[in-house]
Structure 1
């Protein structure tokens, strides 16, 4: 058997689920998991189905079978063949805790993916890349060469066939052009519980405000800094007795966990864009 995921969204109306599942049944597919959500404010319907199909099934044949339904309901769809391991380009600056956690989760099999390249504006993570056997690209960024370096990144994504770019504490702001070109394919971890304390030095900002919780937010990158659709968040309680350094130490653990969960959700096709928000079909 082959394993597939399909996601779809369209204007809500009766008969969507029946039409899709009937077509899948006609292919001999067996549904393993199904999730649906109706956004009442926009009357938008979202659905994700995981299914098995006979070994001879091909993605093109499944898409052809579903084409009449897609046309009838004017659906936006994506079909994922689970036999192909997703590919990631990871980007990092000097703080490598989120990158190391991501690599560990891949190594132990919790995250089914392959990091095909590590890109950095510093040399700090080269040794990690060598140990893991991952190509390392040291591309310093200045105002003068930013466009050139981003063009190299786009070429790298195309050459490697990367499905996702992960900013694992990459401390450079992507240009509007790059953010738009790769929209929905770049995940960033921001060391703050957005929308609070955006931009630089969020732990210092949080400390100065005397917050009682800190957190991290994984979101898709957009041209608007730290305003992209949110995928995953987590918080932890802190006290007045903690220093900025204590907040940073606590936050690093949260950042690592949140980023890994967001990447897993995305690669398992569990995240669907809904305007400025996301629909997240968590497992279980």
Structure 2
């Protein structure tokens, strides 16, 4: 029998008893006076308490405006539709802004893709089990069976979907069968396969990838060995959203660590793996908390 896709949600975010929950509101559009006041007015009409508010404008004189607000409210589920209606009337109609409203006590569902390298995969699962990532891990999909037992030890469904050769249509059809309706976003935790543009479009949810920051200078196999030969002084990692253009999607997070001539290629791989884990964790957490707003081919991150 295949494993089921039962949700294992962390405890709801609360601040004042069982009925008090937190919600996130993200707003984007053309900057103009009165936006922040309008948001505060709608939330205040319903007795919401603003816990945090971050905003950014790339040009105060008619540029692009972005805002993330977290607010708390008793009986949030019952009141949220009225808040959404009020925001639609004030923000969409009066200011022509787009907005997204979400109950933060309902974690986003994520599928993790992995291959043989398990450092990013197991780090995410460990942090999830300890309550450090506000997500529900719906499943792990891998093109190799190597990590099946370790994944299942976390109580997470594992699916082995082989993907080899130029024709990946059968594998991608299975991916879509497993994912559709079951996940809100996907994480590629060192998944060493390229997703087709057709799969990305049909899946229709954000996809986060992690890779070493040697691209494009050390693209392909054995990047750390070639970086050692070149005498690099920094190694790092980049987490970004996946688009049809390979490794060209909007960057969410990056980091580096200094190395020296005395470090071997194995040292570089080990230290690079540490950075990859940290960078991917931050990207997944920020995305799951609605802190990342995409704008063209870059991001605004309210970290």
Task: Please give the range of the TM-score, normalised by the shorter of the 2 chains.
Answer: over 0.9
Counterpart of 1:7 (choices 17, 20, 26) is 26
Contact 2:139/2:157 (<8 A) preserved: yes
Q: Which residue is equivalent to 2:253?
A: 232
1: CA distance, partners of 2:231 / 2:293: 35
Counterpart of 1:259 (choices 276, 280, 294) is 280
**TM-aligned CA deviation for residue 166 of structure 1:** 0.7
Counterpart of 2:84 (choices 56, 63, 67) is 63
Contact 2:184/2:205 (<8 A) preserved: no
**TM-aligned CA deviation for residue 176 of structure 1:** 1.4
Contact 2:180/2:203 (<8 A) preserved: no
For structure 2, the residue ranges without an aligned partner over 5 or more in a row are 1-19
SS of equivalent residue, structure 1 residue 132: coil
Q: Which residue is equivalent to 2:17?
A: none
Deviates more, 1:33-42 or 1:168-177: 33-42
TM-score, length basis structure 2? 0.87
1:138 equivalent to 2:164? Answer no
TM-score, length basis structure 1? 0.93
Deviates more, 1:5-14 or 1:52-61: 52-61
Q: Which residue is equivalent to 2:66?
A: 46
> Is the alpha carbon distance of 1:9 and 1:198 closer, same or farther for their aligned partners in structure 2, counting shifts above 3 Å?
farther
Deviates more, 1:242-251 or 1:183-192: 183-192
> Is the alpha carbon distance of 1:29 and 1:244 closer, same or farther for their aligned partners in structure 2, counting shifts above 3 Å?
same
Contact 1:194/1:216 (<8 A) preserved: no
1:100 equivalent to 2:146? Answer no
> Is the alpha carbon distance of 1:9 and 1:159 closer, same or farther for their aligned partners in structure 2, counting shifts above 3 Å?
closer
1:204 equivalent to 2:225? Answer yes
**TM-aligned CA deviation for residue 182 of structure 1:** 4.6
> Is the alpha carbon distance of 1:36 and 1:195 closer, same or farther for their aligned partners in structure 2, counting shifts above 3 Å?
farther
Q: Which residue is equivalent to 1:187?
A: 208
1: CA distance, partners of 2:108 / 2:56: 26
Q: Which residue is equivalent to 1:83?
A: 105
Task: Report the number of matched residues.
Answer: 281
Deviates more, 1:75-84 or 1:38-47: 38-47
Contact 2:214/2:223 (<8 A) preserved: no
Q: Which residue is equivalent to 1:119?
A: 141
1:31 equivalent to 2:57? Answer no
